[in-house]
C-alpha cells in the first residue's frame, strides 16, 4: 500500500497541488499585472536574448547566473510579440507551481499530516507579499528556488532515476540563485548516516544531487567574483536589520501592506510584532528540540535562512536599507521590498514545518509517545506534558495565522505593475510605426519601470 502511494498516489496529488498553485498564482496577479512586463523581463534579459539568441541563457548578470528566468524569457519570446507579457507571467506562475508540487513530494517524510503538507506546498503562492513584485515575473523566480533547495539537498532518493531527476532540478535551481550556496551543508543530511545496499556497498544515490549542487555553486561563486554588481553595497546596523525584519518579512507574512504594518507599530509600539515573534520562536525552538534528523535541519535552514537572506540583501543593496528603528517618514512610506517576500517565503515555510513537527508524531524522539517519556518522577512528566500542550497550542496558532493571512490577502490587490503599462495594448501602434518607416530597426515599448526596444522584424512581416 505504501509503495503504491509513493508510485502513483503522491505524484498524482502533487500534480493537482502544482496545477492548483499555478492557477492561484495567476489569479492573484489580476489582468493588468499579468499583462505588464516587469524590470529585467523587458530589460537586460530580453535585450540580451535579442542580441545573443538562445545562448543568452548562460550569460551572467549582476554577479550571478539566472538560468531559469532566462529560459522563461526565451520561451515567451517564441510566441507572438503581443503575447509576450502574459506568456512570461504564465510561465513564471507555472514554474512556481512546479516548486509547490516538488515541495509537496519531497516533504512527505517530515510533514506527515496531509493538510499541513498541502499548506506548506501552497506557501509560495499564498504568501501575502508574493504578488506585489515577485510573483509572475521571471526576474524574481530565483527567490522561489530558496524554498525548494533545502528539500532537494536533504532528500534521499529511493531510485537512481529519481536521484538523476532531482539532480537536474538542483542544477537548474542553483544556476538561478547564488544564495542557494548557503544551504550546501544540508547535503550532509542526505548522506549521514551512511546507508548500504543489499550487496554491502555505500548507497551513492545522494551523489547526483551533491555533484549538481557543488558544481553549480562553484559556477555561481566564480561568476560573483568575476562579474561586477552595479548596485551600491549597504552597511546596515544590526538593530535596523532586525527591526526591518519584524516589519517586512514577518509583518508581510500577515499583511501585504507594509506601510500599514509600520504605521500600526508606530501607533501601538513594537509589541505588536515582537509578541508574535516570541511565540513563533517558541514553536521553532520546540521543533528543533523535538525534531529528529531531517525535520530538525529543515526547520533550522528555513527559519535561519530567512534572516540570513534578509540581512544579505540589505548588505548587497544599500538602497534597500531604511531607518526602521526610528520609524521615520521614509520607513513609514516605504512599500514592501522583494527581499521581504523572499525572506517571508522561507520564514512561513519554516513555521509550517515546525508546527507540523510539534503537532504530529514526526518529531518525537525515539518514537516515544511524548517528550520526557522515560524520565523519572511524576513532576518531570507533568511538566513535560504541560510544556508539550503549550507548544501544540502555539503550533496550531501558527497554522491558523498562516491560513487566515492567506485567505485575508487572497484577492488580487495592488502590485508594482497595477498601473501598467499593458504590453499588448502598445503593440498595434508599434507595428504601425514600423510599417510607416521601413528603415526603422525597432520601436520602444514601455514596461514597468523601464522600456524595451522591440525589433520591427518581429512586429511586422517585411518583404
The string of DSSP codes covering 76-103 is HTTS-GGGHHHHHHHHHHHHHHHHHHHH
Residue 394 CB partners (closer than 8 Å, separation 6+):
279, 282, 283, 286, 358
Element of type H or E holding 443: strand 442-446
Region of residue 323 (left: phi > 0; alpha: psi -120 to 50; beta: else): beta
Q: Helices H, strands E: what count in the chain?
A: 21, 4
Q: Which residues of 324-342 are buried (b: 16+ CB within 10 A; e: fewer)?
A: beebeeebbebebbbbbbb
d(CA 410, CA 437): 47
On average, the pLDDT of the chain sits at 90
Residue located via cell numbers 513564471: 92
Is 284:350 a contact under the CB 8 Å cutoff? Answer: yes
Mean pLDDT of 51-71: 93
d(CA 150, CA 456): 45
d(CA 64, CA 76): 22
Mean pLDDT of 182-188: 96
High-pLDDT (> 90) share of the chain, %: 73
Enter the C-alpha cell of residue 440: 526603422
Residue located via cell numbers 532537494: 152
Could you tell me the sign of the dihedral formed by the alpha carbons of 192, 198, 200, 202, in that order? negative
d(CA 39, CA 44): 8
d(CA 345, CA 250): 10
Q: What global pTM score does this model have?
A: 0.92
pLDDT of residue 67: 97
d(CA 453, CA 456): 9
pLDDT at 118 over 80: yes
Higher pLDDT, 140 or 372: 140
Encode pLDDT of 329-370 as tens digits.
Answer: 777 777 888 899 999 999 999 999 999 999 985 333 333 334
- Under DSSP, the state recorded for 233 is P
d(CA 268, CA 418): 31
pLDDT of residue 304: 96
Dihedral pair phi/psi, residue 97, rounded to 5°: -60, -40
pLDDT at 45 over 60: yes
Burial environment of residue 425 by CB neighbours within 10 A (0 to 12, 13 to 18, 19 or more): middle
pLDDT at 291 over 90: no
Using DSSP, state whether 451 is helix, strand or coil: strand
pLDDT at 51 over 90: yes
d(CA 330, CA 327): 8
pLDDT at 165 over 90: yes
- How many CA atoms are closer than 13 Å to the CA of 340, on its beta-carbon side? 32
d(CA 322, CA 329): 10
- Under DSSP, the state recorded for 203 is P
Is residue 414 reached through a cis peptide bond, with omega within 30 degrees of 0 on the bond before it?
no
443 DSSP β-pair partners: 454
Mean pLDDT of 86-96: 98
pLDDT of residue 296: 94
Is 10:108 a contact under the CB 8 Å cutoff? Answer: yes
pLDDT of residue 364: 37
d(CA 248, CA 244): 6
- Under DSSP, the state recorded for 159 is S
Encode pLDDT of 373-432 as tens digits.
Answer: 444 445 556 767 777 888 899 999 999 999 999 999 999 989 999 999 999 999 999 999
pLDDT of residue 270: 93
pLDDT band for 372, please (50, 70, 90 cuts).
very low
Higher pLDDT, 262 or 215: 215
pLDDT of residue 8: 56
Amino acid at each position: 500500500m505504501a509503495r503504491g502511494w509513493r508510485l502513483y498516489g503522491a505524484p498524482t496529488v502533487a500534480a493537482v497541488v502544482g496545477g492548483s498553485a499555478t492557477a492561484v498564482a495567476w489569479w492573484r496577479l489580476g489582468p493588468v499585472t499579468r499583462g505588464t512586463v516587469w524590470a529585467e523581463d523587458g530589460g537586460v534579459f530580453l535585450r540580451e536574448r535579442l542580441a545573443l539568441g538562445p545562448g543568452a541563457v548562460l550569460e551572467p548578470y549582476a554577479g550571478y547566473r539566472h538560468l531559469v528566468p532566462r529560459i522563461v524569457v526565451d520561451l515567451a519570446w517564441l510566441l507572438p510579440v503581443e503575447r509576450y507579457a502574459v506568456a512570461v507571467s504564465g510561465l513564471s506562475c507555472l514554474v512556481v507551481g512546479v516548486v509547490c508540487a516538488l515541495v509537496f513530494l519531497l516533504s512527505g517524510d517530515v510533514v506527515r499530516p496531509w493538510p499541513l503538507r498541502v499548506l506548506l506546498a501552497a506557501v509560495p503562492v499564498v504568501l501575502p507579499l508574493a504578488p506585489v513584485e515577485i510573483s509572475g515575473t521571471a526576474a524574481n523566480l530565483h527567490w522561489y528556488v530558496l524554498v525548494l533547495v533545502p528539500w532537494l539537498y536533504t532528500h534521499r532518493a529511493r531510485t537512481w532515476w529519481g536521484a538523476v531527476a532531482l539532480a537536474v532540478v538542483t542544477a537548474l535551481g542553483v544556476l538561478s540563485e547564488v544564495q542557494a550556496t548557503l544551504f550546501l551543508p544540508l547535503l550532509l543530511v542526505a548522506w549521514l548516516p551512511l546507508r548500504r545496499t543489499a550487496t554491502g556497498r555505500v548507497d551513492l544515490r545522494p551523489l547526483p544531487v551533491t555533484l549538481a549542487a557543488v558544481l553549480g555553486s562553484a559556477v555561481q561563486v566564480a561568476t560573483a567574483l568575476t562579474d561586477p554588481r552595479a548596485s551600491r553595497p549597504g552597511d546596515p546596523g544590526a538593530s535596523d536589520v532586525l527591526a526591518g525584519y519584524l516589519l517586512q518579512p514577518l509583518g508581510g507574512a500577515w499583511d501585504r501592506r507594509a506601510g500599514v504594518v509600520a504605521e500600526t507599530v508606530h501607533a501601538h509600539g513594537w509589541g505588536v510584532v515582537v509578541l508574535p515573534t516570541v511565540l513563533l520562536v517558541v514553536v521553532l525552538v520546540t521543533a528543533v528540540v523535538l525534531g529528529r534528523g531531517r525535520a530538525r535541519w529543515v526547520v533550522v535552514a528555513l527559519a535561519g535562512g530567512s534572516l540570513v537572506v534578509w540581512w544579505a540583501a540589505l548588505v548587497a543593496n544599500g538602497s534597500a536599507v531604511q531607518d526602521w528603528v526610528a520609524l521615520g517618514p521614509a520607513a513609514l512610506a516605504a512599500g514592501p521590498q522583494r527581499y521581504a517576500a523572499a525572506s517571508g517565503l522561507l520564514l512561513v515555510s519554516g513555521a509550517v514545518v515546525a508546527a507540523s513537527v510539534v503537532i504530529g508524531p514526526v518529531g518525537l524522539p525515539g518514537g516515544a509517545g511524548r517528550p520526557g517519556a522515560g524520565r523519572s518522577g511524576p513532576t518531570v512528566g507533568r511538566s513535560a506534558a504541560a510544556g508539550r500542550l503549550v507548544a501544540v497550542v502555539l503550533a496550531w496558532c501558527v497554522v491558523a495565522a498562516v491560513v487566515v493571512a492567506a485567505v485575508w490577502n487572497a484577492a488580487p490587490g495592488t502590485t508594482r505593475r497595477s498601473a501598467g503599462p499593458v504590453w499588448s495594448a502598445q503593440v498595434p501602434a508599434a507595428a504601425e510605426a514600423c510599417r510607416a518607416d521601413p528603415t526603422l530597426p525597432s520601436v520602444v515599448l514601455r514596461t514597468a519601470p523601464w522600456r524595451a526596444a522591440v525589433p520591427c522584424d518581429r512586429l511586422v512581416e517585411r518583404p
